[in-house]
Amino acid sequence: MKRILALDYGDKKIGVAISDPMQIIAKPLLVINNLNYKNNLNEIEKLILENDIEKIVVGLPLTLKNTESIQTEKVITFINQLKSDLSLSVIAYDERLTSQIAKQSLIKQGIKTGHNKKEIDKTAAAIFLQNYLDDPTE
């Protein structure tokens, strides 16, 4: 079976998480420095090839009132670019509150989050990917 890749898009960094081949468990993978779209695409394409990816889930940052923000528009643009440049499925998935949940989880594990924002980004991606794996119809 193939894996699913999750991307938590941010202005400076993109948190990346990956599923196991049976698509049951998500785990944080790495962080891509968001330098420009071409660099991002190259890094994502490498991950697709190296990890036998069949689908990408991108976190969609809606507001708590279920509306779009400036960041939501940036992520939608990113998703549309990926859809046009990649030959696999790219879907948006609600990622509200995952960064806060990731930060709390890391603190409980004794991991300092102040200077370690990368851990939050990739953990947030793993959290919404796990939610997707648990209920892909959502």
The pLDDT, as a whole number, for residue 53 is 97
CA–CA dist 4, 19 (Å, integer)? 5
Please list, in sequence order, all residues whose beta carbon lies within 8 angstroms of the beta carbon of residue 99, skipping any fewer than 6 positions away: 8, 120, 121, 124
- Segments in 86-116 forming alpha helices (H): 98-108
- Other beta carbons within 10 Å of 110: 6
pTM: 0.84
Burial 5-33 (b: 16+ CB within 10 A, else e): bbbbbbeebbbbbbbeeebeebebbebbe
Domain count along the chain: 1
Query: For the domain that residue 126 is a member of, what is the CATH number?
Result: 3.30.420.140
Q: Would you call 57 helix, strand, or coil by DSSP?
A: strand
Q: Are 129 and 57 in contact (CB under 8 A)?
A: yes
The pLDDT, as a whole number, for residue 13 is 93
The pLDDT, as a whole number, for residue 84 is 97
DSSP 1: -
Please give the distance of CA 114 from its chain centroid, rounded to a whole number: 21
Please measure the distance between the N-terminal and C-terminal CA atoms of the chain and give it in whole angstroms.
22
pLDDT single digits (tens) 11-25:
999 999 999 999 999
**Domain that includes residue 114, residue range:** 3-134
The pLDDT, as a whole number, for residue 34 is 95
